[in-house]
Structure 1
Amino acid sequence: MYSEKILQVLTQFKQNKITTEEALEALRKLPYEDLGFAKIDYHREIRKGFPEVIFCGGKTPQQVKEIAFNMYKNGSDVLGTRASHEHFEAVRELLEKAVYYETARIISIRNTPPRKTKGIIGVVAAGTSDLAVAEEAAVTAELMGNTVKRFYDVGVAGLHRLLDKIEEIRECRVIIAIAGMEGALPTVLGGLVGSPIIAVPTSVGYGANFHGLSALLAMLNSCASGVSVVNIDNGFGAAYSASLINKIGEEGK
């Protein structure tokens, strides 16, 4: 069904029955592929600039394997987040070129080389305990074609560590600031840099941290301008937004 509808649109285009714009619009609206347990949207890349991403959490290894295989065989790059070793081993049974980023918990399978941007995304993490979320953000941004610079363990408990890197951080077009505990890092950065900041609260902290809620509320209440906030531990979401911002800047160069 999926292939037939694509063929129909392409035939109409080749016969000059529809314009290029009409063909692209029809392709944008084509149905997904229904696997029964999942519906794969192959045209998300046309609409969004990047293929559908597999959230592996809550899915069985077999489900992730089938989704990844069908995406890859239809020409899509594959990005799976929150993936376990079991997810990765299942995918690698069918797709040997799959790569697993252990700290980031990401599976990647490339069909095409990424188109690199000139702008830099800076990933700034407060502490080593934030590395899993920081790497999820950094690896996601890299797989989406961005140049990424990492600045880790530069939290406000030792402000000199951050200030030592501030000139490099100022060179970044977009900054992802990641912190748990009291979540102060994005606010401090917001007063020092002119780039947009995407703040990511993490669930790192002691009891009153409420699994990241205190950091989330602190970031939402930041007094610094230019700070936007994603949900707790959402390194992927921050990277996706940062990539969109970076590519808009790229188009303007």
Structure 2
Amino acid sequence: MDEPLRTLLEEVAAGRVAVEDALERWPQLAVAHVGEFARLDMGRLQRKGVPEVIYGPGKTPEQFLAIVQAFVRERGVALASRVDAVRRTLVTDWAESACARVWEGVGGALEVSAEGYRPQEDGGVVGILTAGTSDIPVAEEVSLVARHMGCRVTAAYDVGVAGVHRLLEPLTELARAEADVVVVVAGMEGALASVVAGLVSVPVVGVPVSSGYGAGGAGKAALYSMLQTCTPGLVVVNIDNGVGAGAAAGLIARRVALWREEAAQAHATPTAE
């Protein structure tokens, strides 16, 4: 038995925690054991607001499939990143027989959901911009995570500084959508993140991407450029970390949405005269 669950049960037995309170806390501590190789954090979305995302590399195809099946069975959906063709085909074949739906991103992002599953829709708005087409696979990881945190996503691709005028229309669209946070995904020298951060009034999350030539082409040039920005309001995740950027942006957008809802309720409540 997992220690957090044991501790909770001991507190109930000792009378320190009411049964009703324990039942409310239970889903947040839920762990699903898959064979001897995985302990899945089934309560992460309820506990933290961020869904667990299966990392594809390093697992055998059979292990990967078993983990996907467990998430679909217990939570109605499985999310994964960096999924290669072998694992994707294995999951797709199973999904057809199980009447599950599959969404595949261009760079290995994967969503498998049970029939009738719908993600929550109570978050804010996350904007996503990429410098080039080569950055889209990482951007799709951002979108995958943010959408399953309940956020609406508005994205525009291939708007980098080599033709900076291409940025004008997407920024206008993000303003109209009232984006609460913008994620900028950029390889090469990564300059787009600083440019965007200097033009918008919301937080910007920079994602350096391992696309480029020669020295610094593995994402280090973009990473160092973003870290050395002189534009305030830009924070940076690790190279190619679309999942981390999506989680950070989703948390920001969800908090803004909560504040917006509370402000609307307060405004609608009549005051005593």
Determine the C-alpha separation between the residues in 2 that align with 1:162 and 1:66: 43
Q: Which residue of 1 aligns with 2:132?
A: 127
8 Å contact from structure 2 (residues 78, 111) kept in 1: yes
Q: How does 1:72-83 map to 2 (within 5 A)?
A: 72-83=72-83
2:23 partner letter? A
Confirm or deny that 1:196 pairs with 2:203: yes
Q: Which residue of 2 aligns with 1:234?
A: 241
Equivalent position to 2:157, from 128, 152, 155: 152
- After superposition, the Cα gap between the structure-2 partners of 1:166 and 1:41, relative to the gap in structure 1 and judged at 3 Å, is closer
Determine the C-alpha separation between the residues in 2 that align with 1:28 and 1:83: 27
1:237 partner letter? G
- After superposition, the Cα gap between the structure-2 partners of 1:129 and 1:30, relative to the gap in structure 1 and judged at 3 Å, is closer
- After superposition, the Cα gap between the structure-2 partners of 1:175 and 1:109, relative to the gap in structure 1 and judged at 3 Å, is same
Q: Which residue of 1 aligns with 2:271?
A: none
1:226 Cα offset (Å): 0.8
Q: Which residue of 2 aligns with 1:107?
A: 110
Determine the C-alpha separation between the residues in 2 that align with 1:147 and 1:27: 26
1:34 Cα offset (Å): 4.8
Of 105-114 and 205-214, more deviation after overlay is shown by 105-114
Determine the C-alpha separation between the residues in 1 that align with 2:51 and 2:143: 18
SS at 1:124 equivalent: strand
Q: Which residue of 1 aligns with 2:263?
A: none
2:173 partner letter? E
Determine the C-alpha separation between the residues in 1 that align with 2:150 and 2:110: 16
SS at 2:207 equivalent: strand
Determine the C-alpha separation between the residues in 1 that align with 2:189 and 2:162: 11
8 Å contact from structure 2 (residues 220, 239) kept in 1: yes
Determine the C-alpha separation between the residues in 2 that align with 1:82 and 1:70: 19
Q: TM-score, normalised by structure 1?
A: 0.87
8 Å contact from structure 1 (residues 119, 173) kept in 2: yes
Q: Which residue of 2 aligns with 1:214?
A: 221
Unmatched segments (≥5 aa) in structure 1: none
2:91 partner letter? V
1:120 Cα offset (Å): 1.9
Confirm or deny that 1:174 pairs with 2:177: no
Determine the C-alpha separation between the residues in 1 that align with 2:29 and 2:103: 32
SS at 1:206 equivalent: coil
1:36-60 alpha-carbon deviations (Å, 9 max, x no partner): 1111122222312344221112212
Confirm or deny that 1:22 pairs with 2:27: no
1:156-192 alpha-carbon deviations (Å, 9 max, x no partner): 1111111233222333111000111111111111111
Determine the C-alpha separation between the residues in 2 that align with 1:157 and 1:179: 12
RMSD: 2.7
